[in-house]
């Protein structure tokens, strides 16, 4: 029997996700995860009525990309725009993306709705879409566990985790990220939900510099979110999530109030779920921290059982995806 074509795999993946596509097309979800569903060149996400195609192919794959862009609007008549981001593009503009197709008078979506919370979008701001689908359940957790709490959102990027906490009743949320451009999206999301934007709570600063200053000021937060990129290097410090989980946790642990929680996100492809949990167990060995909960990744992101034909390079079990999320309880003497 012949192997299914890329388009047949994509169509099957979209069909499997039909129950999760909201009738208003206001939400965001993954339509096709090519690394796990049969063509590692392609990942397709829907943000409202806009499809974002992340494409990692060579010059000889241009016809396949053109065929895909032409087929999507016919297969998904609710689409209003398609953005293509070429991972190996020759320019930063190509990597940030281009509008490859739009219905007459239409443009890429500028917001999505998730769990009743509105999030601003700028789909051409960066090489990814700026709104991570793999942390959807973490946003739900923050909505449900932030009432009356103060929250620090480190490596905030466009701020979705902190905005979820604010929508969940947090009394204050501080976002910090190196990029003021990304934090501007966090401010827009905050305003979309009717919250006042206090610019003092959006701090454009290097993580290591911010944490050092916050410790000197004696700051404490009820919840600290630690969601660093896979790799980063600045004049103030460097990190590699394959080996730096413990160091990063210890950096921010003093900023968590006693009885508070530290949310740790690790998306390193080559760090297994078992090794990640062993690292957390070692951090908790003194009794001052405990693993309170593990937060999952939704099945549209992991690929459905019916459509998955591949596996991550390293086994993430007991997590379902290389994005591994744990909630730690923190106590101080």
Take residue 146 and report the two structure tokens written for it.
């932030």
pLDDT at site 236: 47
Residues 127 and 164 in one domain: yes
pLDDT at site 242: 59
| 99 within domain boundaries | yes
Can you give the CATH number for the domain in which 64 is found?
A: 3.30.750.80
Residues of the chain with pLDDT under 50: 231, 233, 236, 239
Residues 205 and 154 in one domain: yes
Round to whole Å and give the CA distance between 245 and 323.
13
Residues 48 and 177 in one domain: no
pLDDT at site 4: 83
Residues 12 and 129 in one domain: no
| 80 within domain boundaries | yes
Burial environment of residue 89 by CB neighbours within 10 A (0 to 12, 13 to 18, 19 or more): middle
Residues 155 and 288 in one domain: yes
Boundary residue ending a domain (94, 109, 124):
109
Burial environment of residue 221 by CB neighbours within 10 A (0 to 12, 13 to 18, 19 or more): buried
Boundary residue ending a domain (56, 81, 109):
109
pLDDT at site 50: 98
Boundary residue ending a domain (89, 109, 129):
109
Residues 134 and 282 in one domain: yes
Residues 70 and 185 in one domain: no
Residues 97 and 116 in one domain: no
- The C-alpha torsion from 228 through 232 and 237 to 242, rounded to 10°, is 70
Residues 217 and 181 in one domain: yes
Length of the chain: 333
E strand map for 241-308: 256-266, 289-295
**Domains contained in the chain, number:** 2
What's the domain range around 62?
Answer: 6-109
| 101 within domain boundaries | yes
pLDDT at site 197: 98
Residues 265 and 169 in one domain: yes
| 1 within domain boundaries | no
Residues 77 and 123 in one domain: no
pLDDT at site 93: 84
| 94 within domain boundaries | yes
| 249 within domain boundaries | yes
Residues 275 and 189 in one domain: yes
Burial environment of residue 306 by CB neighbours within 10 A (0 to 12, 13 to 18, 19 or more): exposed
Residues 6+ apart with CB under 8 A from 250: 283
Can you give the CATH number for the domain in which 197 is found?
A: 3.40.50.150
Round to whole Å and give the CA distance between 20 and 25.
10
| 14 within domain boundaries | yes
| Cis peptide upstream of residue 318 (ω within 30 degrees of 0) | yes
| 202 within domain boundaries | yes
pLDDT at site 87: 83
pLDDT of 25-64, one tens digit each? 999 999 999 999 999 999 999 999 999 999 998 878 888 9
């Amino acid at each position: 029997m012949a192997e299914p074509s890329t388009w047949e795999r994509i169509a099957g993946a979209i069909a499997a996700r039909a129950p999760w596509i909201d009738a208003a097309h206001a939400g965001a979800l993954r339509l096709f995860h090519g690394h796990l569903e049969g063509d590692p060149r392609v990942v397709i996400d829907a943000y409202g009525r806009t499809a974002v195609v992340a494409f990692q192919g060579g010059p000889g794959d241009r016809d396949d990309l053109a065929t895909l862009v032409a087929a999507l609007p016919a297969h998904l008549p609710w689409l209003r725009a398609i953005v293509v981001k070429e991972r190996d593009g020759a320019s930063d503009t190509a990597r940030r993306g281009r509008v490859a197709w739009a219905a007459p008078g239409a443009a890429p979506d500028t917001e999505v709705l998730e769990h009743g919370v509105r999030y601003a979008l700028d789909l051409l701001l960066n090489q990814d879409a700026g709104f991570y689908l793999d942390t959807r359940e973490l946003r739900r957790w923050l909505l449900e566990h932030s009432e009356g709490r103060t929250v620090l959102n480190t490596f905030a990027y466009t701020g979705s985790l902190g905005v979820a906490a604010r929508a969940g009743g947090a009394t204050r949320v501080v976002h910090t990220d190196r990029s003021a451009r990304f934090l501007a999206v966090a401010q827009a999301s905050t305003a979309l939900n009717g919250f006042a934007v206090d610019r003092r709570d959006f701090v454009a600063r290097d993580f290591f510099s911010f944490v050092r200053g916050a410790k000197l000021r004696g700051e404490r937060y009820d919840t600290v979110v630690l969601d660093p990129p896979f790799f980063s290097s600045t004049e103030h410090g460097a990190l590699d999530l394959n080996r730096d989980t413990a160091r990063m946790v210890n950096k921010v642990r003093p900023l968590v109030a006693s009885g508070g929680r530290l949310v740790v996100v690790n998306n390193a492809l080559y760090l297994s779920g078992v090794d990640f949990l062993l690292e957390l167990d070692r951090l908790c060995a003194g009794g001052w921290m405990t693993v309170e909960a593990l937060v999952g990744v939704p099945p549209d992101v992991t690929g459905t059982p019916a459509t998955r034909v591949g596996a991550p390079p390293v086994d993430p079990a007991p997590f379902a995806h290389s994005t591994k999320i744990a909630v730690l309880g923190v106590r101080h003497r």
